Amino acid sequence: MHELAITESLLNLALRYAAEHSASRVTELNLMIGDLCGFVDDSIQLYWGHVSQHTLCEGARLNFQRVPARFECLDCSTEYVLKGEMTPCPRCSGTRIQLVSGDEFRLESIFIEGEPEASTANG
């Protein structure tokens, strides 16, 4: 259910951006989602179809880029990507680790279309 609130927030951001730039339509949103943040792409996509109806965002494509969980060992400074369950440092087997990336959720970019320019007739 967290995906509904996040999707509504995405819609509000996109609509605000579109209004600030006099867009006629929002065509695409690029999202960065960390593997550890807990959001499900399919759920966000499903909610997007519902909340964006009858707005400038209706039909806009959501592109998801997953960010792997990356940790740094505080004992030997090795950085590694988490593969499966939590594991100690692959270099020194240390368990004092800190998260470097993988819990983020952010809107990277929005693509819009502008209103067509009105043509003027000479005459």
| pLDDT confidence of residue 1 | 57
pTM: 0.81
Q: How far apart are CA 54 and CA 51, in angstroms?
A: 9
Q: Which CATH architecture has domain 2-114?
A: 2-Layer Sandwich (3.30)
Q: Given the DSSP bridges, would you call strands 23-34 and 105-114 parallel, antiparallel or unpaired? A: antiparallel
Provide DSSP, 37-71: S---HHHHHHHHHHHTTTSTTTTPEEEEEEE--EE
pLDDT for residue 84 is more than 80: no
In sequence order, which ranges of the chain are alpha helices (DSSP H)? Answer: 2-20, 41-51
